[in-house]
Amino acid sequence: MRLGFGGNKFKHGYSSWDEAQANCSGYDAQSITDTVVSASRAVRDGKAAYERDGVLFDKIEYSWPLLAALMGTPRKGNELRVLDWGGSLGSTYRQNKELFSLAGIALKWTVIEQGHFVEIGLREFQTKELTFVANTDDFSGQEFDVVLFASSICYLENPSVAIQQAVGLNPSRLIFDRTPESKSKKDLIGVQKVGSGIFKASFPVRSFASGSLQNMIGTKYSPVADWVSDLQPDPQTVAKGYVFQKN
């Protein structure tokens, strides 16, 4: 077990997702929901500038490579249609919306999340630009320019299913940020225990072998950029960002 950024602890080497899950409280723990909702309300109400994973900041911390990847997405007109997979209550939207506005780019931002987050999002955080859905069946033919997985694909039990659903939406780009890359030749399954100063929870996490995401995406998209993320929570992996563009 290794101690990472923010006091997070990581233990790798589980043989299956089920085995890792049996050693966790789970990603749907009430402590996570309560902390994220409280922090998101604080940002919405102007009491804090920014939140990430339920942690409040008095100044926005930008991921400049991610912002550049989003702004550079091919689109029609001046509106960027984003599907933010696992986007909590709109953290990345609120982080970047002012810069998009200054650039003259309108946003249509849809978050796909767990059902209880969707209920809260629709009740408290939905705007003309931001909305929430629980699965891809809720889209009713909606089109997206980009599907974003910002530190989310690693927490899905079946990432290939989500990626194929994203590919099926035919966006111009698939973007991943803060995604752990394994130093091994194969994907690794571990458990992340969140630092006690954030919220009390633990959940399975997957780190991807080099080339693993491309294999799941297939040949319809090609890698065009990657970067090492500023945040490196797990010293046993390298958190990276990737851009895949439709051929």
Question: Could you give the 3-state DSSP secondary structure of residue 87?
Answer: coil
Q: Tens of pLDDT along 199-234?
A: 678 889 999 999 999 999 999 999 999 999 998 989
Q: What is the pLDDT of residue 168?
A: 94
Partnered with residue 111 across adjacent β-strands are 84, 132
Partnered with residue 147 across adjacent β-strands are 83, 174
Partnered with residue 182 across adjacent β-strands are 237
- Nearest C-alpha neighbor of 91 from the set 17, 37, 172: 37
pTM of the model: 0.93
Q: Tens of pLDDT along 148-197?
A: 999 999 999 999 999 999 999 999 999 999 999 998 889 999 999 886 66
